[in-house]
Amino acid sequence: MGEEDRVIRVEDVYKVYVTGSVATWALRGVSLSVRRGAFVSIMGPSGSGKTTLLNLVGLLDRPTKGKVFIDGVDTSRLGDRELAEFRSRKIGFVFQTFNLVNRLTVLENIELPLVARGLPREERRRMVVKALLRVGGELSWLSKRPNQLSGGQQQRVAIARAIVGSPSIVLADEPTGNLDTASARVVVNTFLELNKLGQTIVVITHNPEVANCSQVIHVLRDGRIVAVLEPDPGRCLIYR
């Protein structure tokens, strides 16, 4: 895999949290690469380091040791302000709890990542409509509040918010964890459709039926990658 093909490169990353005299090693020498346009899943038991790894890749935290490269950029060289700006342009986030603001309309929720860019209102709204349609949403949702939508619909709105700024990477932390099976299928299918269009997606999941929809599965245990598995498409949630 050439450097230009790797949108994510994690090199020998360690992360330790210190509370008083107690040191907790969340990650112990993790290395991985994700090629541009891939759909990757990360699995592992609770406490294995999955969310810590996602936070480092998502530039929400910095490693204790090691380096994280995004789009070829050594992010350890960026200051806090540069890092925040770089993150807003390069990475979109999807969370288990949707993280939508109920006092805002769906349109206003999706355009939140664009507001800080100083884009004209009409351009923002054009980008919002495009993002919502890409995830299979309906334009009738735009004037609604998130709590007027089903869980699966809210998660699609959250995915639209993640992609509205055309980031290089979408990171999803247990995106189907709060959904029933039918809604989870819709969300996973949304990721698959986005991936067909070239979007790079990294999903943390406890659900093997979700992981088996991806192209490669990294298994974390005790802060280390202990296996890299080839998924079984026949066990993908979409086809069961």
Q: What is the model's pLDDT at position 3? A: 62
78 pLDDT exceeds 60? yes
Domain span including residue 233: 37-60+87-239
β-bridge mates for residue 36, sequence order: none
Query: Among candidates 197, 47, 72, which has minimal Cα distance to 134?
Result: 197
Q: Is residue 16 part of a domain?
A: no
If you average pLDDT over residues 116-140, what whole number do you get? 93
Tell me 239's DSSP state: G
Query: Among candidates 221, 193, 189, 191, which has minimal Cα distance to 203?
Result: 191
Q: What is the model's pLDDT at position 116? A: 78
User: Which CATH number goes with the domain that contains 156?
Assistant: 3.40.50.300
What's the CA gap between 175 and 185, in Å, rounded?
11
Q: How confident is residue 119, by pLDDT bands cut at 50, 70 and 90?
A: confident
5 pLDDT exceeds 90? no
Tokens at residue 8, please? 């994510």
Q: Is residue 167 part of a domain?
A: yes
Query: Among candidates 186, 203, 7, which has minimal Cα distance to 95?
Result: 203
Q: Is residue 169 part of a domain?
A: yes
Q: Where are the beta strands (DSSP E) in 96-199?
A: 169-173
pLDDT, tens digit, 9 for 90 and up, residues 147-199:
999 999 999 999 999 999 999 999 999 999 989 999 999 999 999 999 999 99
217 in Cβ contact with 235 (< 8 Å): no
Cα-to-chain-centroid distance, residue 105? 23
Q: What is the model's pLDDT at position 91? A: 96
Q: Which residues contact 97 (CB under 8 A, 6 or more apart)?
A: 178
Containing 134, the helix (H) or strand (E) segment is helix 121-134
Dmax over CA atoms of the chain, in Å, equals 55
2 pLDDT exceeds 80? no
Q: Is residue 2 part of a domain?
A: no
**How many domains does the chain contain in total?**
1
Tokens 């288990």, located at residue: 96
Angle (deg, nearest 10), helices 151-163 and 121-134:
130
What's the CA gap between 70 and 10, in Å, rounded?
9
Q: Is residue 205 part of a domain?
A: yes
If you average pLDDT over residues 113-129, what whole number do you get? 91
113 in Cβ contact with 170 (< 8 Å): no
Q: How confident is residue 239, by pLDDT bands cut at 50, 70 and 90?
A: confident
